[in-house]
Amino acid sequence: MYITQIEVSDMRADSHQINTLGHVAFQTPTGQVQVDCAVRNSGNNCNNNSKLALITEALRQIARMPEYRAGRGSLSFAPGVWPLGVPANA
């Protein structure tokens, strides 16, 4: 999957203020893949760290899909798309 853009939307705290929830959309030349994510709240809800954590979680979920886990698919990114602060091995 060649990712040309990453968008995070609908970031919010869960009802117990423990997790940050959100949708991460990966734009590709042929469409969009949207992943629903929940990450542990980092203390200051809906901040930049939470956004990066949601992107990292979305990449983790995609990597667990059978086609990627089995090595039949790969992820690549357009220049400048990889968000600063997200580990390269996410």
Find the mean pLDDT for residues 36-56: 82
Average pLDDT over residues 16-33: 94
Q: Mind listing the pLDDT tens digit for each residue in 58-78? A: 999 999 998 888 888 888 999
Residue 45 has pLDDT above 60, yes or no: no
Nearest Cα to Cα of residue 46 among 14, 16, 6, 83 = 14
Mean pLDDT for 17-36 is: 95
State the pTM of this model.
Answer: 0.83
Dihedral pair phi/psi, residue 60, rounded to 5°: -60, -45
The token pair that represents 78 in the structure block: 């357009």
The pLDDT value recorded for residue 15 is 86
Coil vs helix vs strand at 12: strand
**Closest C-alpha among 65, 56, 40 to residue 6:** 56
